[in-house]
Amino acid sequence: MDRRIKCIAIDDEPLALDVVAKFCERIGGIDIKVFSDPAEGLEVIRRETPDIVFLDIEMENITGLEIATRLPSATCFIFTTAYLNYAMEGFELDAVDYLHKPFAFSRFQTAFKKALRRLGLTEKVKDEEKYIVVKQEYNNVSIYLREILYVEAMEGYVKIFREDGTCTVTRMTLKNIGTQLPANEFIRIHRSYIINKMKVRSFNKREVELKPGLTLPVGRQYSSEVSELLSSQN
């Protein structure tokens, strides 16, 4: 993002704070601080004026509803609670969203995007923060485009290889995943491969080198287009 988003989470359950912190890390571009002591968290909020606050509602000594009334006007907030009976009160306080525990990453992501719109920051997401979401077994996995080295087709599946050496396998065709990847950043070089153009170290009409020791073949029918497109970006 053009600037990192400052977030604070307050919850008297450490596991709940851990979930919020990990989800923020998955989204990227976020500085997150977590507090199990509501008074301590509120003091830091007043001092630092974060962009977004994630608030549990039922806590000892003070509720998230009370904290919400004390937040700086420039700070928006999202309730994260196991109790549905506070939803109306939450929205009356102008909460951005109301996350009912346990919530999935996709639901958290939706709430976060709502907060960005409230803050007027939706147009400030840089290319390196763009991502795709694919299903691996029973989980949804977010993969940043800047991390993708190449995609390889298998029988009814594709393997998505990242620069760090990790690989995600998802049930999808190469053609289908190609529609999710920006045409100005990715190019199909073979019936079995799509590569990230920005990762190419060298190339000729027969192969491309993505990093030392990793060379992929260029299919004959793709040769002319690959040479033209890769030459034009250098």
Q: What is the CATH number of the domain that holds 92?
A: 3.40.50.2300
Q: Are residues 132 and 120 in the same domain?
A: no
Which among 124, 150, 178 is the end of a domain?
124
**pLDDT single digits (tens) 6-65:** 999 999 999 999 999 999 988 888 999 999 999 999 999 999 999 999 999 888 888 888
* Alpha carbon distance 191, 153 (integer Å): 8
105 and 160 in a single domain? The answer is no
pLDDT, tens digit (0-9, with 9 covering 90-100), for 161-182? 998 889 999 998 999 898 888 8
The verdict on 87 and 189 lying in the same domain is no
Do strands 148-153 and 193-196 pair parallel, antiparallel, or not at all (unpaired)?
A: antiparallel
Residue 11 main-chain phi, psi, to 5 deg = -160, 140
Q: How far apart are CA 69 and CA 42, in angstroms?
A: 11
Q: How far is CA 26 from CA 5, 51, 105, in A?
A: 13, 18, 9
Report pTM: 0.54
Enclosing domain of residue 113: 5-124
Q: Are residues 11 and 119 in the same domain?
A: yes
User: What pLDDT is stored for residue 234 in this prediction?
Assistant: 52
> Are the CB atoms for 78 and 107 separated by under 8 Å?
no
Total domain count, the chain? 2
Residue type, 89: E
Last residue of a domain, one of 124, 151, 176: 124
Last residue of a domain, one of 70, 92, 124: 124
Nearest to 81 by CA among 47, 56, 103: 56
For residue 73, count CB atoms less than 10 angstroms from its CB and return exposed for 0-12, middle for 13-18, buried for 19 or more: exposed
61 with 97, same domain: the answer is: yes
Q: Give the integer Cα–Cα distance in Å for 55 and 24.
A: 14
